[in-house]
Amino acid sequence: MGLDLYNQKRDFAKTAEPEGKPGRKGGNRFLIQKHDATRLHYDFRLELDGVLKSWAVTRGPSLNPQDKRLAVEVEDHPVAYGTFEGTIPKGQYGGGTVMMWDEGTWEPLDDPHKGLKAGNLKFRVHGKRLGGEWALVRMKPRPQDGGRANWLLIKHDDAAAREDAAEAWLETQATSITTGRRMEEIAANTHSEWRSRPRDTPPNRQKIKSTLEFIEPELATLALSLPRGKNWVHEIKFDGYRTQALIENGEVRFLTRTGLEWTHRFRPLPDYLAQMRVTSAILDGEIVAVDEGGRADFKSLQATLSGEADVPLQYYVFDILHRDGEDLRGLPLMERKAQLQKLFKGRDFGGRIHYSEHFTEDAADLKDRLCALDQEGLICKRADAPYRSGRHRAWLKVKCHKRQEFVIGGFTLSKAGRQGMGALLIGYYQEGRLTYAGKVGTGFTQDSAIDLRRRLDLIAQKDNPFSDIPAEFKRGAHWVEPHLVVEVQFGEWTSDGRLRHPSFQGLREDKPAQDIHRDRPLRPTEVRKTEDEPTARKPRRRAPVSKTSAKDEVDGVAISSPGRVVFPGSDITKKDVAEYYLSVAQQILPHIAGRPISMIRCPEGIGGQCFFQRHLTQAAVPHVKDTGIQVNGREDDFVMIEDERGLISLTQWGVMEIHPWGCLAATPDRPDRLIFDLDPDPEANWADVVAGAAEVRERMAEFELQSFLKTTGGKGLHIVIPIQPEHDWDAIKAFTRAVAESMAHDSPQRFVAQASKAKRKGRIFVDYLRNDHTATAVAPYAVRARPGAPVAMPVAWGALSPDLDPAGFTLENTPAHLKRRKADPWADMTTLNQRLSGHILKALNIL
C-alpha cells in the first residue's frame, strides 16, 4: 500500500504524528495503539517491508478463540509511528487520544506476502499483553462495506488462549504499557513529549542536550545487626526500584541503578518532579507502589509497570548529589540532606514525591515496628560520610526478611497442565559460573506465570547453564539463556546451599544477570568494626506487634510467624486467622470437608502477593490431602481436607479464602449444590439485589426446592440449593442458566445473564457460571482476603432486607454474632433430602 495515503491524510504542521518515511526492511515489530477517535478502537500493527501494516479492531482483541473480532484494514503507517502516544488535534484525521497498549515482536507462520494476498495471514506474537498464535482472515466484500477491506482477527487455541469474557479482560488492561497512564491522563497531560504541537510550534523542534550525566549510585552492604553510635542515622528501606532523577531546566529524566532511562515507565512522576524549584539537580531515591494500607509493595510495583495493575507510583528521595551546577557529593550526608529538605519545604508535589525522613534514635524499636508491618527493613548511614559510588560499609542494610535477586537458568512445566510453568530453576554467579540455588514454584499469579513463560520461550536454549545442578533437578527441565533476574523471598539457606521456602516476588529488569551474587551479610562483630565512638545501647521499648511467641500452635498445628500482621492497618495476625477458623470449625467443616477446594493464599498477608491455588505443591502439607479425582482424564492433585487440623493447616499454609466445589470428592461428576451469585454493578440498586435474592428463592420454590442465603463478604449475595447428586454438570449448568436468562428476560432493567461488564451497567449479573466442573464459590464463614477481614455469612431469609450489609460480618465481630444468634440458618443444609426432578429438566429440553 505504501505511505502516500498516510501522508495525504495528515497535516504535519498541526499534528505531532511522524511523517511517513519507509523504515529499514527486515523488522518484525508488533504493536497495538488504543485510539479514542470518532469511536474507540484498537489499531493493530505488524511491521513488514519497512512499514506497519495496520487494521482497526473495533472491539479490541480477544484471547478467546471463540471470538472473531472485526478488523478494518487501514493505510500503512511508518515504523516511527510505533512510539506515538498522545493526542491528535480535533479536526485532523483521526483526531483524539492515542495510547501505546501493547508492543513486542511477531513472526509469520507462513509466507506473509502470500498470506496477505490470499486474505489469510497466520502469525505468532510476543507482546507484553498478547501472545501465541493468531490469524487475520479477509471477509468477502459487501456493498455496505463502502469499499473497506474487512478482516477478522481470531486467536488460535493454544497456551496463551483464555476463555474469559474479552470485555471484562480489556477493562483490566486500561493503562499504557510505556507510560502507565490512562486515556484521560494522556489527553490531559500537557507535559507529554508526544502531545500534539500547537499551530505556532515548528514541526522539527530540537531538544536541548542535557549536561547532567548518570552517577553510579552508592550501595549498601547487608548486615545482620544494627550499627550503634551517634554518627549513624537510619532510613526506611523501600521495596521498589532505586532511581536517579536528573532535573534540568524543567526537564526530568529517571535512570535506573544501572543507568537505563525509564522516564516513560514512571509517568506521571516526572511531571510532578518538574515542579521542583531548582534549575538543575541530581536526586537519589526509590520509586515504589503503595497499597491501600500504606505499605510499599514490590509486587504491586511490578504489576503496575507490566500493566496488570494500576497502583499510583511514588518517589521517595533520600539524597542529592548535584544542585544548580554544584557537586555536593563531598559534603557529609547530613549537610546534603539539609539542602534536599529545603527543596521540599512548603511543597507537596501532588502527594507523589516525598522527602525520606531519617531517624537517629530507637533504631531497634523502629525496625521491630517495620518488620511487624511486613516492611523491608532499615538503611543505616554514616551521618558524616561523603557520597561514594559503589558498595561500601558507610551504608548498611538490615532486612526484615531474607530476600535477594537470582538468575533464571531454566524452568519446569506444571504437572497440573496449567499455562505458564511449574517452577523456576534459579542461581547466582560465583567466580563467573552460575551456581544452582534451588527451585521456586510459588508466588506467581496466573498472569505473571504466563508472561514469564513467554519471556523464557524467547531465550530457550539446549544447554544447561548451571555448573552444579543435581541430576534430580535436571529431569523435565527446560533450559534458558541466563539473562532474566528475579527477586525471591525465602526462609533460610540450607547447609547444601539451597533456598528453603522460596517465593517469587517479581522480575528485576534494572539489574544485569552477571552482577547477581549471593548476599553474604556482615556479622555483628564486623558491624561493630564500622561503628564510630560506640556507646551503650539504650533500653528500647518494644512495640506491641506480636500477640504470640515465635513458636506457637493452634489445635496442635505449629503456626510459623504467628505474630505477622496479615491485614495491613489492623492488628489481625496470622495466628488470629487460625484461631478464628478453629472457632468456626463446627460450622464451616460440613460445607468444605471431603470436597475439592480452591484457595486464595496470601503467605505474606493481604498486603503481599495473593494468588489462587487448587493443587497440592511438591512439599507435603500436614493434614491436607489429595482428592484423587481426575479432570479430563488427568490427576491434578486437587486439595481436600477432612477435619479441624486440616483447616488449621490451610491457615499455616497462608490460605485466607476457602472456595469449595459444588460436589463431594467421592462424586466429582455429580454436583450436590446449585449456586446463584447475584453480582451487582457498582451503579446497581442494592434494593434490587435484595429483591433478586427473594425472586431466586421463589423460583426455586416453584420447583419444590428449598434454598439458603449467605452474604459474600463483598458486594453481592449467594443463594445455595442443596440437591441429591443425580445429574451431571452440564445438566445443572443448563438449568441454572435457564433460570438466570428467564430473570433477565422478565426484568431486563434489573438483571443480566451475561458476564460482560459493559452489558451489566447499572444491573445485576445473575451468575450461574459457578455451576460448572471445577468452578467454586466462597465457603460460608470463610474470611475474605480484603481490607477489614470480611466474612461470608449464612443469614436467615427473615434477615433479608435493604438494611442487610453484604460485607458487614468480619473476622472480629463474627464470634460475637454466632453467640447471639438463636439458630443456625443453614442447620438443614446438609440433611435436607431434595431432588431436582428429571421431568423439569426434560421440560426445559435439558435432558
Q: How far apart are CA 656 and CA 581, in angstroms?
A: 10
Q: How far apart are CA 596 and CA 602, in angstroms?
A: 19
Cβ(315)–Cβ(245) below 8 Å:
yes
In this structure, what DSSP letter does residue 799 have? G
Q: 343-350 long-range contacts, Cβ below 8 Å, gap at least 24?
A: 343/276, 343/277, 343/278, 343/281, 344/317, 347/275, 347/276, 347/277, 349/272, 349/273, 349/275, 349/276, 350/272
Identify residue 210 by its one-letter amino acid code: S
Cβ(158)–Cβ(134) below 8 Å:
no
State the Rg of the chain over Cα.
29
Write out the three cell numbers for 306.
507490566
416: closest CA among 592, 612, 124, 126?
612
Report the chain's terminal Cα–Cα distance, integer Å: 55
Alpha-carbon torsion angle 796, 801, 807, 811, nearest 10: -40
534: closest CA among 191, 183, 226, 184?
226
Identify residue 758 by its one-letter amino acid code: A
Cβ(215)–Cβ(258) below 8 Å:
no
Cβ(700)–Cβ(781) below 8 Å:
no
DSSP 66-108: T-EEEEEEEEEEEGGGGG--EEE-TTSTT-EEEEEEEEEEEEE
Residue 439: active-site member: no
164: closest CA among 300, 34, 67, 59?
67
Strands 402-412 and 423-430: antiparallel
Identify residue 96 by its one-letter amino acid code: G
Q: Who contacts 685 (Cβ-Cβ below 8 Å, separation ≥6)?
A: none
Q: What are residue 348's DSSP bridge partners? A: none
Distance of CA 293 to the CA centre of its chain: 17
Where does residue 367 rank: exposed (0-12), middle (13-18), buried (19+ CB within 10 A)? buried
CB atoms within 10 A of CB 216: 12
Q: How far apart are CA 593 and CA 400, in angstroms?
A: 37
Q: How far apart are CA 130 and CA 235, in angstroms?
A: 41
Q: What distances in angstroms separate CA 420 from CA 101, 159, 448, 505, one per listed residue?
A: 22, 8, 8, 16
Identify residue 821 by its one-letter amino acid code: R
CB atoms within 10 A of CB 253: 18
Q: How far apart are CA 149 and CA 71, in angstroms?
A: 9
Q: How far apart are CA 172 and CA 163, in angstroms?
A: 15
Strands, E assignment, 642-760? 655-660, 673-680, 708-711, 717-722, 751-752
Q: How far apart are CA 847 and CA 836, in angstroms?
A: 12
Q: How far apart are CA 79 and CA 100, in angstroms?
A: 14
Q: Which residues of 424-454 are buried (b: 16+ CB within 10 A; e: fewer)?
A: bbbbbbeeeebbbbbbbbbbbbebbbbbbbb
Please identify which of the residues 237, 337, 399, 439 carries the catalytic annotation: 237
Q: How far apart are CA 559 and CA 548, in angstroms?
A: 10
**Catalytic positions, written as ranges:** 237
